[in-house]
Structure 1
């Protein structure tokens, strides 16, 4: 059994069997294609729980975003009801509103001048105050957002990405809703839009290369440790298998050799690397590590990562990387969606590597919790009123 906190390289040095050149399993494995190397998937309940803990927050955020995108930020309740399936809202909108008070106000208005008044949704005063706070946090962290956007482009093979794809992942990386309008034009030294946003074949191109952005989290970590200790530290992955996780002897040998290979930065040109080589595997893992490190929650659904296969040169079977390197990643199946999670960013089910933009999430969580407390208090008063009425009825019956 591998220790929860012990690096795999240490384990392998301690438990390395005596092998002759003719029987060394690493040689056997090196003759196989990387895609044939299998590691049995194992459930991690703590990391699954981390995803489950954010379920209510993400659902409420989707609902708020839907209303936010409407003209005037209002919508007839019956229109919104028809969008439940797309929003993955498995309860009626009225039920959602009762469970999450404080997000919206319900009022009556006419859809057309002579039509009957119907119920509309609009932001509550508390939600509007939160959105103002969100705007402040975005402005304070604008340099961080710009660097993230540059990094996403710098890792691409042609330094260009479809605008549609970037819009699709804006929540994963903490970009503002209107970043293409409010942010990109302010930095012509970095970005250029090719085509018209909202139309097909519109792209965001990197204009200039900033060497300071071209350092991965792993490279920065090695630099900081070198400066602290005065000893040159080689950049590499923090490879630690979870408690109770087993690797077969041959796979253990392969992982040991792979870990000891030189680190390949995700910002290096990978055009000359063979797609089936161990070097390309090292580079691909580096790209995934960097993408997850740049994300807000240090995890991204696999289908979203798959949208960037061409830009980042991922193979068709790229998701196997997450199980093959179980000491770096965890592949969660929670909610019926495959999600790649960066292990080192979590302690049990708690995120320890926190992005500054996560302040938005915590502010929103406070807003939700305030509404939930009000609902619990309202339900408590209702129960007390029912009990009081029952007692009064019993007393009358006795008389």
Structure 2
């Protein structure tokens, strides 16, 4: 059974509800609290594979950032080896460097003037070229980055977010590492920093409300459809269960009725709504849909989303939304981390709704693949050389045996 319901009422209340539901079958469905509407989680192999496929890219990206954060962007190899567990690297650093030759150069240097030379790791020339390309892509998409940052603030209840939390999610949304230093100050009409950053109590506040930024992806999609066809449609969610998923009849009816509710923009004030109401559920789903749509990979780890529960008015049981609305979201458990994914952004496990900032990832993957191809070619040449040497040795042994045999035969003939 895919769907289960759990009541939180007393025995007497249950009895009364049961009597009323016999008179009006729809009563039980519409009076049931949303928190009790549960759908059993089922694995989606294609979406899980999308996360697994990006794992090598993420690991390499972590190591690169570790070196770039070092003074002079160089680090002794043994120091980097000591950080392997924190980087979640399951191979030795020397093995990682051999497998990814395009990223770093290894050279000998002294840690102290009179110490023995040791191996150091530094950024390769090709990686520096990529970093210049990254700057170009960020500059070309600066307007999009600014709008994303504004949107995150506009969805927050006080139009303010902690700087620490924004730094924590910069990778999910494609913000550059230095966005607080080199981007935010350039837009005083949108942003204002409050509090001293060094104390970890600074906040980013929205200064100006831009109505163009206050359109959600869903609302923009409805407007685009109207311009294209001349037919005005209601903004709403795409809802499609993948093969193998099914819902019980009463849950299907609840979803049908819930979808009929008016769409509530994540940018409107909802302080008047009851946290347990279906309208608040509609708004919460809208916020998650917008956050995932703004993210680079249309997926965000659930613990990261939980950090913004207060700012975005999420309930304590907010993660149940992702399984309750399995036709909109998927919650992957890959890697032991719950990750919320937007179903409509993927087709057959491939990302189809691509953020313009993903060009950075494409360039980085291209760099990695060039190194992998070089490594494979190097290994192929090594194997051929070993095979050639074995053949030469075998031929040499054969010639020696032939000469000895010939001498033996000559000796016998002499006799």
- For 1:106, what is the secondary structure of its paired residue? strand
Decide whether the 8 Å contact of 1:63 with 1:87 is kept in 2. yes
Gaps of 5+ in 1: 1-19
Q: Which stretch shows the higher mean deviation, 155-164 or 387-396?
A: 387-396
Counterparts of residues 311-326 of structure 1 (less than 5 Å): 311-326=311-326
Decide whether the 8 Å contact of 1:26 with 1:254 is kept in 2. no
Residue 173 of structure 2 is aligned to residue 179 of structure 1: no
- For 2:171, what is the secondary structure of its paired residue? helix
Give the drift of 1:196.
2.3
Instruction: Report what 2:405 is aligned to.
Output: none
Instruction: Report what 1:163 is aligned to.
Output: 163
CA distance in 2, matches of 1:26, 1:179: 52
CA distance in 2, matches of 1:314, 1:86: 31
Instruction: Report what 2:298 is aligned to.
Output: 298
Counterparts of residues 225-374 of structure 1 (less than 5 Å): 225-374=225-374
Give the drift of 1:243.
1.3
Q: Deviations over 1:109-129 (max 9, x none)?
A: 222222222211110000000
- For 2:115, what is the secondary structure of its paired residue? coil
Give the drift of 1:133.
0.3
Give the drift of 1:85.
1.3
CA distance in 1, matches of 2:387, 2:119: 33
Q: Deviations over 1:289-309 (max 9, x none)?
A: 000000000011111111111
Give the drift of 1:199.
2.4
Decide whether the 8 Å contact of 1:26 with 1:253 is kept in 2. no
Give the drift of 1:26.
4.2
CA distance in 2, matches of 1:127, 1:89: 20
Give the drift of 1:21.
8.2
Q: Deviations over 1:153-201 (max 9, x none)?
A: 0000111111111111111100000000010000000001111224221
Instruction: Report what 1:15 is aligned to.
Output: none
- For 1:129, what is the secondary structure of its paired residue? helix
CA distance in 2, matches of 1:27, 1:267: 32
CA distance in 2, matches of 1:24, 1:122: 72
Change (3 A) 1:191 1:96: same
Instruction: Report what 2:377 is aligned to.
Output: 377
CA distance in 2, matches of 1:258, 1:176: 38
Give the drift of 1:59.
0.7
Q: Which stretch shows the higher mean deviation, 194-203 or 271-280?
A: 194-203
CA distance in 2, matches of 1:178, 1:187: 14
Decide whether the 8 Å contact of 2:301 with 2:339 is kept in 1. yes
Instruction: Report what 1:54 is aligned to.
Output: 54
CA distance in 2, matches of 1:343, 1:370: 32
Decide whether the 8 Å contact of 2:21 with 2:28 is kept in 1. no
Decide whether the 8 Å contact of 1:138 with 1:357 is kept in 2. yes
CA distance in 1, matches of 2:85, 2:24: 55
Moved over 6 A (4+): none
CA distance in 2, matches of 1:212, 1:317: 32
Instruction: Report what 1:92 is aligned to.
Output: 92
Decide whether the 8 Å contact of 2:236 with 2:259 is kept in 1. yes
Counterparts of residues 62-211 of structure 1 (less than 5 Å): 62-211=62-211
Q: Taking CA–CA contacts closer than 8 Å with sequence separation of 6 or more, which of the two structures ends up with the larger relative contact order?
A: 1
Residue 380 of structure 2 is aligned to residue 395 of structure 1: no
TM-score (norm 1): 0.93
How many pairs are equivalent?
382
CA distance in 2, matches of 1:195, 1:26: 53
Decide whether the 8 Å contact of 1:109 with 1:119 is kept in 2. yes
Who wins on radius of gyration, i.e. which is larger?
A: 2
Change (3 A) 1:23 1:354: farther
Instruction: Report what 1:218 is aligned to.
Output: 218
Give the drift of 1:23.
6.1
Decide whether the 8 Å contact of 2:172 with 2:297 is kept in 1. yes
Decide whether the 8 Å contact of 1:159 with 1:205 is kept in 2. yes
Change (3 A) 1:390 1:164: same
Give the drift of 1:22.
4.8
Q: Deviations over 1:274-330 (max 9, x none)?
A: 111111110000000000000000011111111111111111111110000000000
